[in-house]
A and B are shown apart, each in its own frame.
Chain A
Amino acid sequence: MHKSAQGLTACHECDLLIDQVPTTPGQDAICPRCRARLYYTTINDTERSMALAIAGLILFIPANMFPILTLKVLGKSQSEVILNTALSLFDGGLFVVAILVLLFAIVVPLMQLILLLYISSSLHFKWGGRLLRYAMHGYQHLHGWGMLEIYLLGTLVSIIKLKDIANLEIGLGLYSLAALIIVFTLSSIMFNHHQIWHQIDVHRSDRAGSKP
């Protein structure tokens, strides 16, 4: 018989069996065969994630309320917020594309921020967190489906395409969007899912132990 799984781990990319060594902050455990990053330690990760989630939720409002771009031709002007992109595609009959834009540029980023706030605050304040597992699964599966940075690049391409034809004004929405993207990038760097699962485990057993 083999020894128990204690002290061992496996690479999630190549399934190599590895002895689990502790890491200090700043150190990464790397798979010796495929060079995948296995796990690492971060300090104050729930606190930082919570701060970023709150900042993101605040920035989400101006990014969606204020116009990204305004087009002015012959005294007429047309403004655009993110939601318009999906709505005008829908009006034009491209239903599938409209739904995808709605999901990738609005719904998924909002869901990510709400889930991140829920996960980090319930771990930080040791709240109930009955849905922590589901929230973590949801958050992990949404990774890569929020596409605000691609939307921003799309805006830049549109500006260059239209700049010879019409006058364009950059709105407050575009600056908020850029700030929101920075928050998203930081939160995905900060988010240490390996460590969070461990904290959820500890959190669950604490609560099970405290019950009378």
Chain B
Amino acid sequence: MTDQPAFQSARNAGYLLCIECNKLHDIQHEGYHCDRCGAALHSRRPRAITQSWACLIASVLLLLPANMLPIMTFKSFGKGDPSTIISGIIDLMEHDMLFIALIVLIASIVVPALKIIGLTILLLTVQFGWSTNLRQKTIMFRLVEWIGRWSMLDIFVIGILVALVQLGSIASIEGNQGATAFAAVVLLTMFSAISFDTRLIWDNDFYRHEHRHEDRQ
């Protein structure tokens, strides 16, 4: 027993954990169904990295139309004033609403950007077997997973403004297709985070332990 590395993964020990109900099974049950909850059993989520990359790349591509196309148009007495995400924030700042501008800036620009960077780092970690700062990377994943949904803020604001400001020719607001692209960005990054399997980044830790073990011999 003393020859074993300090940390041993369930997979190396011949077990697998049902990710739905957290019941521990023998690794030979891989591909079968959990007898407690009926979910398919996998030691690691199959195709996790491929799915996660696919959603992430699609969301990066959609960032372009999301930020270039107008998300809504303010119409007053026949004149239209389309605004993009960034021009909306600049508008708020010019009207001295700095606090609210900051909230919208964080929700629509900073959070999506950090999410994409964070997921890229995590995926590269798994892909290249990096074994540094694994605990920080796990915390980063939890943050990315939790914070991602707050980007929907701008979408809800557009919806509420469109529903509320319908005063005929005096003033009205309508949504534009930039909002669709932005909603798709948010949705795809959320799917990317869900597809990811954090156990994959910790597999690098075991390799490190095993190599250390070999070095000593």
Interface positions of A (Cβ within 8 A of B)? 2, 5, 8-17, 33-36, 39, 68-69, 71, 73-74, 76, 78, 80, 84-89, 92-94, 96-98, 100-101, 104-105, 133, 136-137, 140, 144-145, 147, 150-151, 153-155, 157-158, 160-162, 164-166, 193-194, 197, 200-201
A96 & B180 in contact (Cβ 8 Å cutoff): yes
B198 & A14 in contact (Cβ 8 Å cutoff): yes
B158 located at the interface, meaning its Cβ lies under 8 Å from any Cβ of chain A in the complex? yes
Interface residue from A12, A13, A100 paired with B187 (Cβ < 8 Å): A100
A153 & B183 in contact (Cβ 8 Å cutoff): no
Bound together, the chains give a CA A84 to CA B103 distance in angstroms of 24
B122 located at the interface, meaning its Cβ lies under 8 Å from any Cβ of chain A in the complex? no
B9 & A85 in contact (Cβ 8 Å cutoff): no
- In whole Å, how far is B170's beta carbon from the nearest beta carbon of chain A? 7
B155 & A15 in contact (Cβ 8 Å cutoff): no
A74-B167, A97-B183, A154-B154 known, 4 other contacts, Cβ within 8 Å = A33-B205, A34-B202, A85-B162, A201-B36
Interface positions of B (Cβ within 8 A of A)? 7-17, 19-26, 36-39, 43, 92, 95, 97, 100, 103-104, 134-135, 138-139, 145, 149-150, 152-168, 170-171, 174-177, 179-180, 183-184, 187, 190, 198-199, 201-203, 205
Bound together, the chains give a CA A201 to CA B21 distance in angstroms of 10
> Given the complex, which residues of A lie within 8 Å of B203, measured CB to CB?
15
Interface residue from A97, A137, A150 paired with B158 (Cβ < 8 Å): A97
Closest B residue to A9 by CB, please name it.
Answer: B24
Interface residue from A97, A158, A193 paired with B160 (Cβ < 8 Å): A158
Bound together, the chains give a CA A92 to CA B184 distance in angstroms of 18
Instruction: Name 14 interchain pairs, CB-CB below 8 A, sorted by A.
Output: A10-B16, A14-B138, A16-B7, A33-B135, A35-B135, A35-B138, A76-B167, A78-B164, A89-B162, A94-B177, A97-B179, A147-B156, A155-B160, A162-B161
B100 & A13 in contact (Cβ 8 Å cutoff): no
> Given the complex, which residues of B lie within 8 Å of A89, measured CB to CB?
158-159, 162-163, 175
> Given the complex, which residues of B lie within 8 Å of A69, measured CB to CB?
160, 164
> Given the complex, which residues of A lie within 8 Å of B97, measured CB to CB?
160-161
> Given the complex, which residues of B lie within 8 Å of A85, measured CB to CB?
156, 159-160, 162-163
> Given the complex, which residues of A lie within 8 Å of B150, measured CB to CB?
150, 153
> Given the complex, which residues of A lie within 8 Å of B159, measured CB to CB?
85-86, 88-89, 97-98, 101, 154
Bound together, the chains give a CA A86 to CA B163 distance in angstroms of 8
Bound together, the chains give a CA A83 to CA B26 distance in angstroms of 48
Closest B residue to A201 by CB, please name it.
Answer: B36
